[in-house]
């Protein structure tokens, strides 16, 4: 069976499964729409949380970053998983004990202020929409290659699927759909990794294969071979490559960590479990389920880079329909060229694709002696690496189709969770919580679904013109959450003297300085050439990239919030007692009395 037909069957079957689950578990009350009736088992919630968390950035983009940035891309592994530890220890149990539906609702009650709740909603929407854009990029990439549609068409199809099962099912439907999506995405990620690890090292366990010797009998370790291949072509050594300065790597990691702990769509997952201890338990299970993919990603990325370099540099005979000029270009490149995500120019007419670091003058001079006339790879979208890897390795068509279904599952699961967070903040926090407190449950549920439909449309619009590769866009979203939501939650739980003025001005200043920095270097609304002071190029503050600036915004948030709270009236006594009660385990008072 040909690849396209098989892909349609596999992807169609998974879509039918998701929609079927949504029909079966559709929400009938606001409690089911916002928190799945608070009846989800911790293990099931851990699996759903893992799917909610492992987005297109994790499945599609992260290994691509590892493939091209080597050791430097470990910031994503450390930041995203480390953030879950913060979430499990510092936020999830206490927020679940507070017993509300949404993060802005907690902020509004804790800081006894409608204004604080509204500011939290605005911050949530900004971060979440930015995050959804990254998912839409992943959906468009997967559809454009394997279903042979335009990027835009693939995006519209993905929006339609999310609309059907997210709008109908709410948190209840999304939860059980995400469990199915986790099974699809983890199977789709690990099976090709096992095949490729076997091909390259003879070891079926990718996590061990990355440290094993090559299967060719040379005795050379795989990572040593990769270092040799990339340095021979003028690139930096793969295992020592960094992303900017060491300070930038540290701040980048920190931004991703606290951004993880501050993302509302992840936090609200812990409102769905029956008891407080279940929130901590489900966070632990989520980390286990996430670790399966995250410990595999370094092997996938490094093996993809090795396969890429070996394949395009030497060239293989492909089906070129008699065109001598590109007769030696591998078939997978011909396939991906149609999407516009991979492009090249055969400058010396030898029918092969030279890919090397022409900025390295010493190697460039050496390359000219080979008859090469510059780097012929004019475009390699990093987001294609995971999806292209099975084709590069000549794996069976069913494996390739499975990877496509997995990438779509990752993007759709996270998009649904984000859209629910946006929807609930509008319908529950703004409409019912501020403007129409007497609205009926039926109308609130309707408003939530309308808000979600609007959010899907807005995310799709920005997804047509994404500001960066998927993981880069997501990193910006994490920075926005880190600079606005995380500090106010932390101080709301652990600093009883924090008042509403401090929280409000902290959120505004934190997200404000982060957005100014991002817009200055990436353009307003991420449109190049629209920054306030023109193109500053690499003139970053202390060498910190815009994608990593969220940690600096968080520091500003903490500093402004504490300063303002010191010069304004302290919170009421009952609020301070409320903060203390949140941190006291249930039954502790009785134990003390005895």
Give the model confidence (pLDDT) of 152-182 as tens digits.
777 777 777 777 766 666 666 777 788 888 8
Q: Tell me the three state secondary structure of residue 529.
A: coil
| Residue 523 CB coordination number (10 Å) | 16
pLDDT tens for residues 345-379? 878 877 778 888 888 888 888 888 878 888 888 78
pLDDT tens for residues 524-550? 444 444 444 444 445 566 778 888 888
Residue 417 phi, psi (nearest 5): -65, -40
pLDDT at 93 (0 to 100)? 78
User: Using CA atoms, how far apart are residues 374 and 205, in angstroms rounded to an integer?
Assistant: 38
Helix (H) or strand (E) holding 377: strand 377-380
pLDDT above 60 for 468: no
SS3 percent helix, strand, coil of the chain, rounded to 5, is 75, 0, 25
pLDDT at 534 (0 to 100)? 47
CB 458 within 8 A of CB 483: no
User: Using CA atoms, how far apart are residues 398 and 394, in angstroms rounded to an integer?
Assistant: 11
Local structure of residue 88 (DSSP, 8 states): I
Sign of CA dihedral 287, 288, 294, 295: positive
pLDDT at 27 (0 to 100)? 60
Global pTM value: 0.78
Cα–Cα distances in angstroms (integers) from residue 589 to residues 90, 93, 383, in the given order: 21, 18, 53
Q: For residue 266, give the nearest of 347, 178, 206 by alpha carbon.
A: 178
pLDDT tens for residues 477-498? 888 889 999 999 999 999 989 9
Q: What is the mean pLDDT of residues 306-325?
A: 57
**Cα Rg of the chain (Å, integer):** 25
The size of the chain, in residues, is: 594
pLDDT at 564 (0 to 100)? 96
Residue in the structure block whose two tokens are 């090709």: 192
List the domains of the chain with CATH numbers.
3-304+392-583 (1.20.1730.10)
Specify which residues 380 forms β-bridges with: 342
Q: What is the mean pLDDT of residues 16-42?
A: 68
User: Using CA atoms, how far apart are residues 473 and 14, in angstroms rounded to an integer?
Assistant: 26
Burial class (CB in 10 A: 0-12, 13-18, 19+), 197: buried
Cα–Cα distances in angstroms (integers) from residue 63 to residues 41, 84, 87, 135, 471, in the given order: 31, 20, 24, 15, 10
CB 176 within 8 A of CB 417: no
- Judged by average pLDDT, the poorest of 22-36, 259-273, 405-419, 558-572 is 22-36
User: Using CA atoms, how far apart are residues 427 and 411, in angstroms rounded to an integer?
Assistant: 24
User: Using CA atoms, how far apart are residues 475 and 87, in angstroms rounded to an integer?
Assistant: 17
Phi-psi bin for 482: left (phi > 0), alpha (psi -120 to 50), beta?
Answer: alpha
Helix (H) or strand (E) holding 174: helix 151-201
Q: For residue 225, give the nearest of 307, 169, 297 by alpha carbon.
A: 307
High-pLDDT (> 90) share of the chain, %: 12
pLDDT tens for residues 58-75? 787 788 888 888 888 888
Give the up-direction half-sphere exposure of residue 516: CA atoms within 13 A in the CB hemisphere. Answer: 10
CB 130 within 8 A of CB 57: no
pLDDT tens for residues 380-437? 877 788 888 888 888 888 888 888 888 878 777 777 777 777 877 787 777 777 778 7
Residue 377 phi, psi (nearest 5): -85, 105
Q: What is the mean pLDDT of residues 226-247?
A: 82
Structure-block tokens of residue 252: 């980048």
Give 281's contacts (C-beta < 8 A, 6+ positions apart). 42, 46, 273
Q: For residue 510, give the nearest of 492, 485, 493, 477 by alpha carbon.
A: 485
pLDDT at 183 (0 to 100)? 87
pLDDT at 328 (0 to 100)? 67
């Amino acid at each position: 069976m040909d690849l396209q037909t098989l892909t349609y069957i596999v992807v169609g079957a998974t879509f039918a499964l998701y929609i079927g689950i949504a029909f079966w578990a559709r929400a009938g009350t606001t409690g089911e729409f916002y928190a799945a009736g608070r009846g989800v088992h911790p293990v099931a919630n851990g699996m759903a949380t893992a799917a909610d968390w492992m987005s297109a950035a994790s499945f599609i983009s992260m290994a691509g970053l590892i493939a091209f940035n080597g050791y430097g891309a470990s910031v994503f592994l450390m930041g995203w998983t480390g953030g879950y530890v913060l979430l499990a220890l510092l936020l999830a149990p206490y927020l679940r004990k507070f017993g509300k539906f949404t993060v802005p609702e907690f902020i509004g009650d804790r800081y006894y202020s409608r204004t604080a709740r509204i500011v939290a909603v605005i911050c949530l929407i900004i971060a979440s929409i930015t995050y959804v854009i990254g998912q839409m990029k992943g959906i468009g990439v997967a559809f454009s290659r394997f279903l042979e549609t335009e990027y835009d068409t693939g995006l519209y199809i993905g929006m339609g699927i999310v609309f059907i099962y997210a709008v109908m099912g709410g948190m209840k439907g999304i939860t059980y759909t995400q469990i199915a999506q986790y099974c699809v995405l983890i199977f789709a990620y690990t099976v090709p990794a096992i095949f490729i690890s076997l091909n390259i090292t003879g070891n079926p366990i990718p996590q061990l294969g990355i440290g094993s010797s090559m299967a060719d009998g040379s005795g050379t370790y795989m990572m040593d071979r990769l270092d040799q291949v990339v340095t021979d072509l003028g690139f930096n050594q793969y295992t020592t490559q960094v992303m900017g300065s060491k300070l930038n790597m540290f701040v980048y990691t920190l931004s991703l960590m606290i951004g993880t702990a501050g993302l509302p769509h992840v936090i609200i997952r812990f409102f769905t479990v029956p008891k407080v201890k279940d929130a901590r338990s489900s966070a632990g299970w989520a980390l286990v389920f996430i670790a399966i993919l995250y410990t595999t990603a370094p092997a996938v990325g490094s093996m993809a880079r090795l396969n890429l370099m070996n394949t395009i540099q030497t060239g293989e005979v492909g089906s070129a329909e008699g065109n001598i000029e590109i007769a030696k270009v591998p078939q997978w490149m011909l396939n991906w060229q149609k999407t516009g995500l991979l492009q090249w120019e055969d400058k010396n007419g030898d029918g092969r694709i030279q890919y090397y670091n022409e900025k390295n003058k010493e190697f460039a001079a050496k390359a000219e002696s080979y008859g090469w006339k510059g780097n012929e790879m004019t475009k390699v979208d990093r987001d294609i690496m995971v999806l292209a890897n099975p084709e590069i390795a000549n794996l069976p068509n069913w494996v390739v189709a499975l990877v496509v279904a997995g990438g779509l599952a990752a993007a759709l699961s996270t998009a649904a969770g984000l859209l629910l967070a946006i929807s609930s903040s509008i319908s529950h926090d703004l409409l019912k919580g501020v403007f129409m407190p007497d609205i009926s449950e039926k109308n609130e549920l309707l408003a939530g679904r309308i808000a979600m439909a609007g959010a899907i449309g807005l995310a799709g619009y920005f997804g047509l013109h994404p500001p960066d590769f998927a993981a880069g866009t997501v990193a910006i979203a994490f920075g926005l959450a880190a600079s606005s939501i995380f500090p106010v939650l932390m101080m709301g739980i652990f600093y009883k003297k924090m008042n509403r003025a401090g929280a409000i001005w902290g959120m505004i200043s934190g997200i404000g300085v982060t957005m100014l920095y991002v817009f200055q270097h990436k353009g307003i609304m991420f449109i190049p050439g629209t920054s306030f002071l023109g193109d500053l190029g690499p003139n970053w503050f202390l060498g910190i990239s815009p994608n990593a600036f969220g940690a600096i915004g968080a520091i500003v948030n903490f500093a402004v919030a504490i300063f303002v709270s010191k010069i304004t009236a302290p919170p009421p006594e009952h609020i301070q007692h409320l903060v203390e009660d949140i941190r006291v385990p249930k039954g502790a008072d009785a134990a003390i009395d005895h």
